[in-house]
Amino acid sequence: MQKKIASALISVFYKDGLENIVSELHQLGVTIYSTGGTQKFIEDLKVPCVPVESLTSYPSILGGRVKTLHPSVFGGILGKRDDAQHVAEMKQYNIPEIDLVIVDLYPFEETVASVTGTGFQAGDEEKEKLIIEKIDIGGPSMIRAAAKNHKDVVVVAAKKDYHLLEHLLKEQNGSTTQEQRRMFAIKAFDVCTGYDMAISNYFNQTSFVSPFTKERSVLRYGENPHQQGVFYGNLEELFSKLHGKELSYNNLVDVDAAIQLINEYTVTTFAIIKHTNVCGVAQRDAVKESWDAALAGDPESAFGGVLVCNGTIDKATALAINEIFFEVLIAPAYDGDALDILKTKKNRILLQLNNAAGMLATQAKHVLNGILTQQNDIGNYAEWKEVGGMETTAAQKEDLAFANIICKHLKSNSIALVKNKQLVGKGCGQTSRIDSLRQAIEKAKQFNFDLNGAALASDAFFPFDDCVKIAHAAGITSFIQPGGSIRDKDSIAYCQQHHLAMVITGMRHFKH
């Protein structure tokens, strides 16, 4: 049901971007109520404005802490237009209907950031006073009231939505639908939730940032079409979408895994991600060579994957990539002719990574009736302890370090086989480490890789020497693993007896 806006209450901290809305409301003949600085802003635009004090019969008091908390304001927002008793009481107490509420919140988080950035310590009364005064009371109350009564009231709670309101005012001549009012209400409740979380975090002195404090984007669906999906966050902080369809839930999960992996490397590297696991990765002197080697690692699994590179995509690389089907390509830069080639498929998603450092330093996961959080696994090895029957060569060192990083980004139990800085076989997500190893060896054989002289990384210790024996039989000559088993000596002894290199890192990399 469409409802026409006849009156509006505007009281905002951020006034930039408000001019066009005020002008449009004035042209539509809407009565505007306002307070303090916002009232002056509107009147300076030569638009008539009714002060809220004329409704409440009270001035702004207690240093501005109380100005809108009054039945004449909240009655106008909360009154049900189709409820005879509400309508009668509003008429009895001379309460006008308020159809549109444009209210934002005091900049609490910005104030905390500026104050804590000047050496703030708990107990500093003057600085804490500045923060306390930015805890908004009337703003959240009006926003929640309007959102609750969205059947009759439009609520805009953030300046980023001004453009959407302006569009609706122009296109629909000041009317809104029930669906549109509900959409604004959802946005408003999200704003209040984030604001309350920021205040709670400050007083609890916690560094965890709830994902629900971020911007909200409804996805086409979740992991499967029958599941709803929502993303909380601002993707534009990390990358620009240059081409293609909207990112899906599964795309975002894989993109996250891809960026976390590519952040590990500083030299030219290309990787292919499938269902969050690495299925191909290689380092070479040029981007095209890195792509060729990464794809060769498992060309079957690459189909429909997410591709990521830390170098510029040139024409030669684009031509090679264009020969396969993939969902997403991520790179820090693209040559113009490369983009022309890659854009020939309309649904293909092309992302330009602008700020990999903008990834959160913590991870969160819903389990049971709560949330688990942890720091990202930024480690590689705590130490490099040579315990085998030979010292690692320079080439082995490079392959072992390369393989160890890959293991971090594979689901446990994980095994990565590397040769010449190319993933040639991997096993992951198995309930047995031996099964993961067998899977990795079979993968390597499937694509005709010679494992003689290859390096093996394991995300956790070898509980027995069986994995080392199986790997050695396949031609593998160097190993990297965290150690920590009560039977470490069995694997170490086997390597010493057969002149195999083994490095213990002291750092496990489970990924569930």
Q: Which residues are part of the catalytic machinery?
A: 148, 275
Note whether 23 and 42 are within 8 A (CB): no
Task: Identify which of 258, 226, 426 has the alpha carbon closest to the alpha carbon of residue 326.
Answer: 258
Task: Identify which of 252, 249, 497 has the alpha carbon closest to the alpha carbon of residue 390.
Answer: 497
**459 vs 472: CA distance, rounded Å:** 18
Residue 105 identity (one-letter amino acid): L
**Diameter over CA atoms, the chain:** 97
Instruction: From residue 134, give the alpha-carbon distance in Å to each of 26, 119, 130, 183, 442.
Output: 31, 19, 7, 27, 62
Residue 448 identity (one-letter amino acid): N
Residues 6+ apart with CB under 8 A from 300: none
Task: Identify which of 500, 208, 256, 485 has the alpha carbon closest to the alpha carbon of residue 373.
Answer: 208
Q: Which two tokens stand for residue 403?
A: 């393989």
Decide the pairing of beta strands 7-11 and 31-34: parallel
Note whether 71 and 89 are within 8 A (CB): no
**121 vs 141: CA distance, rounded Å:** 30
Count of C-beta atoms within a 10 Å radius of residue 137: 12
> For tokens 């050695």, what's the residue?
472
E strand intervals along 18-143: 31-34, 50-51, 100-103
Count of C-beta atoms within a 10 Å radius of residue 29: 10
**290 vs 270: CA distance, rounded Å:** 5
Q: What is the 3-state secondary structure (H, E, C) of 160-183?
A: HHHHHHHHHHHHCCCEECHHHHHH
**315 vs 268: CA distance, rounded Å:** 16
**325 vs 180: CA distance, rounded Å:** 38
